[in-house]
Chains A and B, each alone.
Chain A
């Protein structure tokens, strides 16, 4: 099983600042890596697929990078609606696995 490790667990950021979230896979997943955003009481929402492609309607302030085992999600100019929990997930191998999540909170 591919273990996905996200860091940090919690990120405190002021509105307008940049947030950088990390995701590490225990073995290569190529570019088969997605990022999801989840707000309280809501289902997850796909932000990034293929490590760096934004889903339709996702603002350009969200960007994904990486391949193999190291990935990052950057949110440039955080807005109030961006404070949420973010999960990364690999879909290169079975079982599909998620990271434990990074909570982005208001500083």
Chain B
């Protein structure tokens, strides 16, 4: 069974840092691009970042560029999101999601999400 499990969320003060992790299982992790998507409380979905299977490319939303870093460790079947300079507007549930197929880049499956709250 394909499974994605996020961890690392929590309460952090403005300007602080946090690293999210996503543990993957049930598929050949290195073959798939991976993504982070967030959802602020009561709001819609916002794409945050993507990374290719070999880490050859990484893309970021303008809202997080220069503050967030996506990475992966294929030996550990894990995806990461290093978040620095956190702002109140970064408060959201953060989901990791795999691309559906190697050549079909919709997002599926999704993890259950981890909540990041940025507040003093």
List A residues at the B interface (Cβ < 8 Å): 32, 34, 36, 38, 43-46, 49-50, 55, 87, 89, 91, 94-101
Contacts and interface: CB of A to CB of B under 8 A. Distances in A.
A91 to B, nearest CB: 4
Contacts of A94: 50, 59
Contacts, number: 59
Contacts of A49: 100, 104, 106, 108
Interface residues of B, number: 23
A89 B107 contact: yes
A105 B20 CA distance: 34
B11 interface: no
* Most chain B CB inside 10 Å of its own CB: which residue of A44, A45, A46, A87: A44
Contacts of A46: 100, 106-109
Contacts of A45: 108, 110
